[in-house]
Structure formats: C-alpha cells, structure tokens
Structure 1
Amino acid sequence: MTSSPAVSSDIRPLLQQHEPPSIAELFRGFLMLGLTGFGGVLPLARRMMVEDRRWLSGQEFTDLLGLCQFLPGGNIINISVAVGLKFRGWAGAIASILGLIAAPTVIVVALGIVYDRYQDDPLLHHLFAGLAAAAAGLLISTAVKIAWPLRKRPLALIIAAMCTIAVGILKLPLLPTMLVFAPIGILATWKLKA
C-alpha cells in the first residue's frame, strides 16, 4: 500500500526526529548552546535542534524563528522558551531559558572584569576584530540554512528578499517592516494553499 507523495513528505520529518526531550535534556542542550555560542548562538541553535538532536525539522525551525523574530526580545531567548513550552510546558520553558543564560551570565561578568583591566591592549582589539569576522561567517551560513526549506516556495523567498532589502539596505525600521510584510506573507501563503 502506497501513500500519496504529500503525505509521505509531511511524515518524513517526523520520522527523523527523536523522542521529545526531557526537562533535563532541554536544560543540558541549551546550557551547551549558551556555553558555545558567544556572539552568534543562532547558527549553533539550528544545528543543535535540527541536525544534531532532531528536536525540530528544518521547516519547523524556520517557522519558529520567523515567529520569534516578530516577538519582542532576543530571538534565541524566544526560541528557547518556545521549544521548552512545546515539549515540556512551563517547566520545559524555564529549564531551557535557565540553561541558555546561566553559565554565559557568569562568564560575561568575569570577562567584563578582565576587559575593564586590559581594555587598552591592542592585542585585545585584534582579537575582537577576528571574532567579529567569524561571527559574520556563521550568520551568513545560518541565513542560507534557514532559507533552504523555503527554496520550493518562491513567494516566501521574494518576501524574505524584500524584507532583507528594506531593513539591510534601505535601513527601514524592523518593526514597521515586519508589520507590512508579515501580513502580506500570511495572506499570500493562505491564498496559494486555498
């Protein structure tokens, strides 16, 4: 007995996922994410949740990121709360966000104390320039991975490109841009599926 292609492609991402993470797994996952993702957690978050632990499919991550970018606050913080809520309710949300911010908070305070003492050192300025270049590379790589699930949806790619041009090139404010393009994207997607 064969199933239709639409059904099998909808089920395929679910078959690749593991069991829902426990509260402890959510805490440990986001703790490691917080410890390894200084200055650019989003690329590592996608890799952890989609590729390594398979908590979400690529499409689910892209959809969740779109929602979290529209909400106030940091994207990764919103994602950690949303993923925790999805799998383990409020306890999962709390475990996820505590895992994400606990160790980095301690490390940032310690580094702030060290930076205050050595801020005029030229070697430190070169170190930060190198870190900025690496972070930019990670961001570009993540943008490609996030856009990949949209490759078969040209309208979504057009809207994403228009948002990028509006905010990145024309320097329009993010919130008004999202308030214009989000309803257009929702309406267009709804019309195409109808």
Structure 2
Amino acid sequence: MPPAQTAPDTLPLQHPQSKTDLFVSFTWLALQGFGGVLAVVQRELVEKKRWMSREQFVEDWAVAQIMPGPNVVNLSMMIGGRYFGLPGALAALAGMLTAPMVLVLLLAALYGSVADSAEAQNALRGMGAVAAGLVAATGIKLIGALTKNALGMGMCVFLAVLTFIAIGLLRWPLLWVLLSIGGGACLWAYRVLSDVDADRAKKGDA
C-alpha cells in the first residue's frame, strides 16, 4: 500500500528564506492573480509554501481587507514586514507590483484597439464569472478555519450572512458596514477573549 500523505494542515509552517524569496514568490503570485487573487493567494501562501496556517490567513486577510489600498498588497507587506521588517515589506511590495504593472500597461494598449468589439466584451463577462467562482470556492474552503475562531462558528456564519444582506441586498456603503457590523464584531470578540483570559486567571490562582 502507498504511504499515507500528510494532511496540509498538519505540516509544519515554513517562512521566507530571504528578501529575494519574498520578491520572487510575490511576483509569481501576482502573475497568477488575474481576476481571482484570493484563491491564488490562499493556495500559494497556505497550501503550497505553508507560510501561514488557514487560521492565520483568515485573520491576516481580514486585517488587510479593512486597511486602505488593495487587500493582497496589504497582505504581502504584512508578511514581508513580519519576517524582515521594512526591507521585507518593500521587497514583497515590489514583487506584487513590478511585473503586473508592466503587463497591465501592455494589455491596456492592446485592449484599446478591440474594446468595442462584441468578442472582447463577452470574453470579459466570462472571465468575471470565473473570478467570482474562484472567490466563492476559496471562501467555502476557508470556512473550516472558523471553528477555532473566538466567536464560534455559529456567530461567524451569522455575521457573514448579515454582511451579505447589508451589502448585497440593502446596498449599504462599505464604510457603514465596517463601522457597524465590523465594529460590533470586534467589540464582541474583545468581550469573549476578555472572559477567556479572566477564566484562565482564576484557574491559575486556584
């Protein structure tokens, strides 16, 4: 019988070997991230490179999501800064932006000549559907990480549904959603974690 493969979540975490490793890795990640960057980032950083666990990815992605600027750029700088400080953050940022900037400029020049054609419009609609599917599939894949969240799976699902209703159905501005639902979730998590710390302190004194 072939040896059983180790599940990805049980493998030890790795870390970038150098600032060059950061630059090359995020350049390769950026070149794959046309339309469905969340799916690519999760696969590369969690499943392939093992630079973070699913739980760490969910937490860091949430922080990157609410910070100003593109979320994947924010995440790359967070990872680079975590291991190599400011030089690491700049190396990751350069990897995320250099090659895509050149390609986007070339594609923009080419697209300008065919932008009005029906074929180009239909191709863009098809790519949009694929990108939406990639993001949805990655979100479903990461649901398991919520079992270790301080709020619990039930509360996390409730907040996700509430956010979908607020943005998708009620059309609330993103800032309102972050301040109301996001702020409420932060306060609730702080209360839960404070209670956990208090219980641990009591057990330690006993």
Of residues 45-54 and 175-184 in structure 1, the stretch that sits farther from structure 2 once superposed is 175-184
Structure 1, unmatched stretches of 5+, are 1-12
CA deviation after TM superposition for structure 1 residue 20, in Å = 4.0
SS in 1 for 2:183: helix
User: What is the aligned partner in structure 2 of residue 65 from structure 1?
Assistant: 61
The amino acid of 2:143's aligned partner reads A
User: What is the aligned partner in structure 1 of residue 185 from structure 2?
Assistant: 185
Structure showing greater radius of gyration is 2
Superposition RMSD in Å: 1.9
**In the TM superposition, what are the counterparts of 1:1-194 in structure 2 within 5 Å?**
16-151=12-147, 153=152, 154-193=154-193, 194=195
Is the Cα contact below 8 Å between 1:80 and 1:96 reproduced in 2? yes
% identical aligned pairs: 33
SS in 2 for 1:118: coil
Of residues 44-53 and 161-170 in structure 1, the stretch that sits farther from structure 2 once superposed is 161-170
User: What is the aligned partner in structure 2 of residue 3 from structure 1?
Assistant: none
In the superposition, the TM-score normalised over structure 1's length comes to 0.86
Is the Cα contact below 8 Å between 2:14 and 2:49 reproduced in 1? yes
For the residues of structure 1 that align with 2:142 and 2:167, how far apart are their CA atoms? 18
Is the Cα contact below 8 Å between 1:65 and 1:75 reproduced in 2? yes
For the residues of structure 2 that align with 1:177 and 1:119, how far apart are their CA atoms? 35
Is the Cα contact below 8 Å between 2:16 and 2:22 reproduced in 1? no
Residues 1:88 and 1:71: Cα distance change in structure 2 (over 3 Å): same
CA deviation after TM superposition for structure 1 residue 189, in Å = 2.1
Structure 2, unmatched stretches of 5+, are 1-8, 196-206
CA deviation after TM superposition for structure 1 residue 130, in Å = 1.7
- Number of residue pairs matched by the alignment: 183
The amino acid of 1:83's aligned partner reads I
Residues 1:172 and 1:21: Cα distance change in structure 2 (over 3 Å): farther
The amino acid of 1:149's aligned partner reads A
